[in-house]
Amino acid sequence: MKKKKVKKRRFDWQWVWWSVAFLLFIAVVLLGFWFLGEATKKTAEPPVLERPSQVKGQIVKLYYYNEQAAKRLGNDGEGSPDAIRPVERVIPETKAPLQATIQLLIKGELTTEEKAAGFSTEFPHPAFKLVRADLNRGVLTLVFTDVPGFTTGGALRVELLATQIEKTAKQFPGVKSVRFLPDSLFQP
């Protein structure tokens, strides 16, 4: 038997170069998708909320009951309107800052820090809303929706709810007194 001669194969460098080029192309495409994903992720993240001093708008005070202030006032201070203290918020520039401030107050949104500092509120109630605000000769008339049972519950509770709104409203120039409508609102 005759042995077949086996031809020696020459190493195909052209195949190696095309393989390397293909792998580099795949790597560039994958890196492109990764960079695109990173760029999209950065724009899709929610914006970081700025501190009130950095936000453009008007700084206002919302008055809420503070249990720690009531304790400092002693036993007579528990539930006292003197224990209603301000927290600061920034509202956007508006033609009706008084209404915006009262609406923000009755939302009753306190931060974790404010709650830890003793602030509390019985606002909000989903049906309790400011309908209208009229200022005439120093008397601010605030018209709210009448929610049966929400603004009642004893003289102390009623006084605290009304005082929170009054103190918040009186920070605005020209407001000397506050009148609530309907008249049955904030009656013990």
Measured from the Cβ of residue 144, the count of other Cβ atoms closer than 10 Å reads 22
Contact yes or no for 143/133 (Cβ under 8 A): yes
- The DSSP string of 82-119 is GGEEEEEEEE---S-HHHHHHHHHHHT---HHHHHTTE
CB neighbour list of residue 79: distance below 8 Å, 6 or more residues apart: 70, 156, 160
- pLDDT given for residue 43 in this prediction: 41
As beta bridge partners, residue 177 has: 139
Distance CA 167, CA 159 (A): 12
Residue 88 confidence (pLDDT) above 50: yes
Contact yes or no for 77/66 (Cβ under 8 A): no
pLDDT digits (tens, 9 = 90+) for 36-81: 777 665 443 333 334 455 567 899 999 999 988 888 877 555 667 7
As beta bridge partners, residue 140 has: 135, 178
β-bridge pairing 139-144 and 177-181? parallel
Confidence of residue 123 (pLDDT cuts 50, 70, 90): confident
Strand (E) or helix (H) holding 30: helix 13-44
The model scores a pTM over 0.75: no
Contact yes or no for 156/116 (Cβ under 8 A): no
Residue 134 confidence (pLDDT) above 90: yes
- pLDDT given for residue 4 in this prediction: 66
